[in-house]
């Protein structure tokens, strides 16, 4: 009798210990990112990365990632996407027709990541080496049927879903067909607007900063470390004023080098983008709360690296097209939630991975 009682007591004790142990460990909650830096190399496929990084003298940022995936890039009406549909899908999570900005395949406007994030008080920003009204950055704050309507795209900034925008594009604010001075209007909406060509680093919670009439100069024309400085200025401001933030950084001209079938142009732009990724990774490692995702909207030029018969230690870049191609593009992720980005998926999935990790309710 006494022995049975002791056994019961022991098993009860063991049970209680298990309960206690599981209470201690708790259900393991995945860490949620407080900052997201989403880097888009426009037109940056595997051939671009392979080629440029094989000749780059500095650190290869892409090799610092452990989580790698592939994104299928088709749009709603074309196996080969353009950059409008290619970035719209990241923002609204729906495939759009080529040329569309922030609208679905029925050309209906749909709230994007920035709109959803502003409801939660997050800071949002775009940085690009194109005009800030160009297809890729535009898809994060504007909703228009055609990417060509850049005068109309810039007007979406008064909706204040994009806190900070840095890049080129003076003309779409100051030399508009309707003669409006959009910078004066944006100032009334609380933005600090700048269109200097000399670099300044203002502290502002709302900032539109354009440094060229349209796209920024090429690297070969002396753009220098603009993209790096702009990325740092945007993240510093977003962190300071909002705490949590989502920043999209675009290496816009990797694509333009591809369209020109100019390998050296493309490679110089990719070197620049690589250095921005390195700096973002260094800061993310220190911070511990930053999710870094690097991908492309599509490949440009159908670039391949062929045997160079004159020098077999190197390759001959060969372009199949002046346009985009439909090959999958790589996705690199680091930081809290990075493992979500492993695997092969449609480009739409990238949007839903962000929604899940940031606790957003999209439709």
Q: Does 136 bind Mg ion (CB under 5 A)?
A: yes
CB of 174 to Zn ion, least distance (A): 26
Q: Of 84 and 317, which has the nearer Cβ to Mg ion? A: 84
Picked from Mg ion, Zn ion, none, the partner binding residue 252 (CB below 5 to 8 A depending on kind) is Mg ion
Give yes or no for a contact between 195 and 210, defined as CB atoms under 8 angstroms apart.
yes
Q: Of 40 and 281, which has the nearer Cβ to Zn ion? A: 40
CB nearest Mg ion: which residue?
136
Q: Of 163 and 255, which has the nearer Cβ to Zn ion? A: 255
Give residues in contact with Zn ion (CB under 5 A): 255
DSSP β-bridge partners for residue 290:
35
CB of 101 to Mg ion, least distance (A): 11
Q: Which of 83, 150, 170, 210 is in the footprint of Mg ion by CB under 5 A?
A: 83
Contacts for 290 with CB less than 8 Å, ≥ 6 apart: 33, 34, 35, 36, 37, 280, 283, 284, 335, 336
Q: Of 250 and 255, which has the nearer Cβ to Zn ion? A: 255
Q: How far is it, in rounded angstroms, from Cα 48 to Cα 34?
A: 31
Residues 195-254 that bind Mg ion (CB under 5 A): 252
Q: Of 42 and 262, which has the nearer Cβ to Mg ion? A: 42
Q: How far is it, in rounded angstroms, from Cα 87 to Cα 70?
A: 16
CB of 174 to Mg ion, least distance (A): 22
CB of 144 to Zn ion, least distance (A): 18
Residues 2-61 that bind Mg ion (CB under 5 A): 42
Name the site residues for Mg ion (rule: CB under 5 A).
42, 83, 136, 252
């Amino acid at each position: 009798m006494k022995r049975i009682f002791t056994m019961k007591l022991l098993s009860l004790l063991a049970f209680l210990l298990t309960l206690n142990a599981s209470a201690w460990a708790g259900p393991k909650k995945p860490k949620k990112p407080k900052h997201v830096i989403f880097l888009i190399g426009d037109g940056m496929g595997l051939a671009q990365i392979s080629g440029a990084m094989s000749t780059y003298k500095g650190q290869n940022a892409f090799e610092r990632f452990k989580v790698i995936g592939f994104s299928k890039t088709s749009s709603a009406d074309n196996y080969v996407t353009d950059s409008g549909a290619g970035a719209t899908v990241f923002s609204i999570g729906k495939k759009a027709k080529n040329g569309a900005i922030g609208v679905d395949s029925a050309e209906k406007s749909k709230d994007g990541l920035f709109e959803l994030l502003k409801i939660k008080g997050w800071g949002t920003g775009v940085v690009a080496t194109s005009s800030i009204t160009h297809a890729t950055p535009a898809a994060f704050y504007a909703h228009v049927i055609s990417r060509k309507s850049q005068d109309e795209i810039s007007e979406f900034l008064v909706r204040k879903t994009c806190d900070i925008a840095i890049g080129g594009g003076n003309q779409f604010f100051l030399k508009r067909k309707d003669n409006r001075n959009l910078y004066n209007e944006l100032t009334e909406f609380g933005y600090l607007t700048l269109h200097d060509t000399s670099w300044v680093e203002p502290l502002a919670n709302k900032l539109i900063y354009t440094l060229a009439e349209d796209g920024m100069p090429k690297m070969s024309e002396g753009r220098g470390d603009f993209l790096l400085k702009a990325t740092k200025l945007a993240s510093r401001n977003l962190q300071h004023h909002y705490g949590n933030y989502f920043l999209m950084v675009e290496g816009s001209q990797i694509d333009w080098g591809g369209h020109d079938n100019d390998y050296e142009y493309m490679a110089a732009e990719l070197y620049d983008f690589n250095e921005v990724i390195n700096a973002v990774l260094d800061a993310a490692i220190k911070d511990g709360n930053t999710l870094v995702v690097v991908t492309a909207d599509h490949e440009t030029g159908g670039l391949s690296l062929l045997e160079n018969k004159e020098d077999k230690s190197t390759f001959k870049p060969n372009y199949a097209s002046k346009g985009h191609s439909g090959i999958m593009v790589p996705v690199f992720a680091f930081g809290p939630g990075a493992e979500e980005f492993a695997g092969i998926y449609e480009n739409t999935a990238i949007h839903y991975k962000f929604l899940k990790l940031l606790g957003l309710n999209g439709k």
